[in-house]
Structure 1
Amino acid sequence: MRELSGIDGNSPEVVLARLRLALSGEGPAILPMALGGVPPVPLGEVPRTVAVVIETSGSTGVPKRVMLSTDALLAGAAASSVALGGPGQWVLALPTHYVAGVQVLVRSIAAETLPVVLEPGHFDPEAFVAAAQRLTEPLRYTSLVPVQLARLVQAAEARGEVLDVLRRFTAILVGGQAIDPELIRRAEALDIHLVRTYGSSETAGGCVYNGRPIGNTRVREAVVDGSRQLEISGAVLAEGYLGDPALTQERFIDEHGERWFRTGDIGAVDAETGIVQVYGRADNVIISGGVKVSLDAVERAVNAMQGLGAAVAVWAPDEHWGQVPVVVTDTVDHPGLQAVRDVVGAQVAKSARPARIVVIDELPRLSSGKVNRQLLVRMLSS
């Protein structure tokens, strides 16, 4: 067994130094924590192979502590390097208590380059551009969530010097959540090299780039609880969940000597091309009037509408139907409830038509950039 130490995730330089020791085996395993000012805290023990423990965001469920081995983290970094065209220098723009932030540091350690660190807190395009201008290596990378990319694209559309900086990146990885297709089109129109990533803490971060598995990652469809869900195998898989052997056994299955992770994501793998498509979470489903309604399907239909690209679909209690879909947006000038209901009814199902549109000043977000859906549900239920 090996000691596990909680460290301050708001100090990227400290995380980088402690991560080096953890990966080399010279120091304890680490759990970067979201709270600032946290001194090293003993948190018990983990299996000797584990180098990093990541606490999932819990944006749609209960947070879990995912145990990642040195081998899994380095396998993810190596696969990323090959897929992107070689090792390079990174701008760290994500929190280090999330797997995407940790992987930027792991890739930097593996490439023997020093990452340029953006100060934690509110994402400022100007600060990002200043950080990017400090890169010195020929191959340049960063990893972002969609809300960060949206702010950079908006700045690049207005200012040529911002665009010049973004075009110098060999690749800008973007993932962590669904991406508005219009945002992708805008970025591609500016000739910004985007790489859309798919993965999770349980796969040591992104392991599918632009729909294609990287490294020795394999993705397949499997029928789980009546829906076709994605399962992933490969060297990047986590060891399991800290302190939860039952959940580990449920989500990580062994089949003929090969481990597979049940992602809980509804998706498809093209039989000819192998391209992976992700449609949404299997657990992001409500029962409205006795009928199952996928909130992710509602959200996809709504986001395709002009003027509602930043909207999210959550549920609210209803005396008659039990639960109903509700669209929440920060856009005042939206198409209107009837137009939204017509589109969702035609593309998804009549039972999926939103009951109302709620306009708020700003969508609440977690530090990872994901919308805090649990908070929105509590707001609508109060």
Structure 2
Amino acid sequence: MDGSFVVPGTAAGGEWVDEVLLGGAAARVGLRLPEVVEVGKLRRLVRERQRELARSGLRAGGAAALRLPPSLAFVTYLLAVWRSGAQAILLDHRLTDYEVRRAIERLVPQVVVSPQRPVVAGLRTFVDVEADVASYSGHPASTSHAVVQLSSGSTGPSKVIGRTAQALVDEVLRYTKIDGVPLEGERVILLPSMVHVLGLVGGLLYGLHAGVELVPPARLTGDAIVQAIAAEQTPATVLGVPFHIGLLASVQEPPKLPQFKRMTTGGELVPAAVSQAFEEKYGVPLGNMYGMTEVGVIGTDLYGAHRPAIRPAPGIDVRVVDGELQIARPESPYLGLVDPARWSDGWLRTRDAGVVDAETGLVSIKGRLDSQVSVGGLKVDLTEVEYTLGTLRGVEAAVVVYDGAITAYLQLKERRETVRLEAELSQRLASYKRPRTLHVLDQLPRTTTGKLVRDLTVLRKAVP
């Protein structure tokens, strides 16, 4: 596609929505909520939203902030913003009013779209919501990005990240070249939020482009996910993050699901023991996807053939410099001043330790670079300690940090004495690698995308 075709603020700025996302037969199913929403209905709703946004002051080259829960309103307002040739600022509806106010004051959208009433979603993955469109300013967008997102902030404050419409289109087309993705006529059981990159591009945008039905389960429980898979006979792929594996694992005796094709997870790497247990229970592969908000999907292993390694996605150039995985990107993805510690000279620094196999090109993620600490002059990789804790019976999830000493925070799926866990760990890790303290929590803190939080302040507050 011609890059000028998708620049917000031009006469043709929104045409990519019709061409890439809302093309094809009007009767094609786009969403199943469980009522069917056909593409023809989506087109009509998007045009209605576009007129409403225009009446509230949104113009080509402007910006609209969306603070909506996963809903038909979110989908249609988002596409309407883009079809207007404007910028969509995505604000997770679970953010506090303070966080939202800070984002709006910084990014200055022309309109703000939010629910008319407080949303009590509970465990629902999609909700019915009436939106309020409020005029905010007359300023155009400060950048030509089509979407602005806040990073999940699992290790600290959120970053403000922008992506052009061309970058979104390129990623959607990249998905079409990955072996193992859902195909036209199949279904995606969509678990991650569409405010964040996996649910947005890997779910919503790719699904609309490829003719894949998007099916949010009625509730975010293991039983509801199984019911969503079983509801139709067409092949189904579950898209989620490692947290969602636990939901499916909680189903005691799942029925036979011949239509269950695979589960694909993004975010943190899944321990081998977890993936093996999942595959034995459901008889389908557990695929892995590695990516960042800044660039989208970077690499995949959808068949679980190379675990824990991944193969770079088509068109993605990677390299390793001083042990750090870096991704080619022509411009900085960050709004504001360019931080050379994160992007410089056309390369994005992931801050993930990695290795690229010279013969196969497979990439192995070795954990965060900031997870390597020195204990008594000896190097310890906290990722290794986390992984080993995860192999112990009864451990559902673990976070290991260094605050002058190695400290572990655990979430258990069965009751176990700490002394027993420490005894088993002593058989698997050298003494200098073992945590000085084990904190057992009912629930480990997580970000809105389901990632485990590693911020020391948050973890300390979670200890009873």
Q: TM-score range by the shorter chain?
A: 0.7 to 0.9
> CA 1:278/1:129 → structure 2, altered by over 3 Å: closer, same or farther?
same
- Aligned 1:196-207 pairs, distance under 5 A: 196-205=288-297, 207=299
> CA 1:286/1:332 → structure 2, altered by over 3 Å: closer, same or farther?
farther
Q: Unpaired runs of 5+ in structure 2?
A: 1-8, 10-60, 95-113, 116-131, 303-309
CA distance in 2 between partners of 1:18 and 1:148 (Å): 27
CA distance in 1 between partners of 2:269 and 2:435 (Å): 20
Q: Does 1:175 align with 2:266?
A: yes
Report the CA distance between 1:197 and its aligned residue: 0.5
Q: Unpaired runs of 5+ in structure 1?
A: 317-321
Q: Is the 8 A contact 1:332 1:359 kept in 2?
A: no
Give the letter for the 2:445 counterpart: P
Report the CA distance between 1:380 and its aligned residue: 7.3
Q: Is the 8 A contact 2:70 2:193 kept in 1?
A: no
- Give per-residue Cα distances to partners, 1:256-293, cap 9 Å, x unaligned: xxx32211001111111111111111123445456554
Q: Is the 8 A contact 2:222 2:250 kept in 1?
A: no
Give the letter for the 1:340 counterpart: L
- Aligned 1:72-87 pairs, distance under 5 A: 72-83=167-178, 84=180, 86-87=183-184
Q: Does 1:131 align with 2:228?
A: yes
CA distance in 1 between partners of 2:164 and 2:79 (Å): 13
CA distance in 1 between partners of 2:448 and 2:442 (Å): 18
- Alignment match, 1:13: 72
- Select between 261-270 and 357-366 the one with higher mean Cα deviation: 357-366
CA distance in 2 between partners of 1:238 and 1:6 (Å): 23
- Give per-residue Cα distances to partners, 1:119-147, cap 9 Å, x unaligned: 6xx721222233334557x5543311112
* Aligned residue among 447, 453, 463 for 1:366: 447
Q: Is the 8 A contact 2:66 2:74 kept in 1?
A: yes
Residue aligned with 1:143, SS: strand
- Alignment match, 2:43: none
TM-score (norm 1): 0.81
* Aligned residue among 398, 415, 420 for 1:332: 415
* Aligned residue among 239, 248, 254 for 1:152: 248
Bigger radius of gyration among the two: 2
Alignment: residue pair count: 351
Give the letter for the 2:421 counterpart: G
Structure with the larger strand share: 1
> CA 1:216/1:205 → structure 2, altered by over 3 Å: closer, same or farther?
closer
Give the letter for the 1:153 counterpart: A
CA distance in 2 between partners of 1:368 and 1:34 (Å): 10
CA distance in 2 between partners of 1:109 and 1:19 (Å): 13
TM-score (norm 2): 0.67
- Alignment match, 1:301: 388
Give the letter for the 2:223 counterpart: E
Residue aligned with 2:294, SS: helix
Give the letter for the 1:208 counterpart: T
Give the letter for the 1:11 counterpart: P
Q: Is the 8 A contact 2:395 2:410 kept in 1?
A: no
Q: Does 1:59 align with 2:154?
A: yes
* Aligned residue among 295, 300, 308 for 1:208: 300
Report the CA distance between 1:148 and its aligned residue: 0.8
- Select between 266-275 and 188-197 the one with higher mean Cα deviation: 188-197
Give the letter for the 2:173 counterpart: A
Residue aligned with 2:66, SS: strand
Q: Is the 8 A contact 1:302 1:343 kept in 2?
A: no
Residue aligned with 2:397, SS: coil
CA distance in 2 between partners of 1:9 and 1:238 (Å): 29
Higher relative contact order (CA 8 A, sep 6+): 1
Q: Does 1:242 align with 2:335?
A: yes
- Alignment match, 1:47: 143
* Aligned residue among 92, 98, 108 for 1:34: 92
CA distance in 1 between partners of 2:230 and 2:388 (Å): 39
- Give per-residue Cα distances to partners, 1:22-51, cap 9 Å, x unaligned: 554x24221221226555575962422x21
- Alignment match, 2:111: none
- Select between 31-40 and 101-110 the one with higher mean Cα deviation: 31-40
Q: Does 1:115 align with 2:214?
A: yes
- Give per-residue Cα distances to partners, 1:225-272, cap 9 Å, x unaligned: xxx0111226xx8751122x232x432232xxxx32211001111111
> CA 1:356/1:133 → structure 2, altered by over 3 Å: closer, same or farther?
same
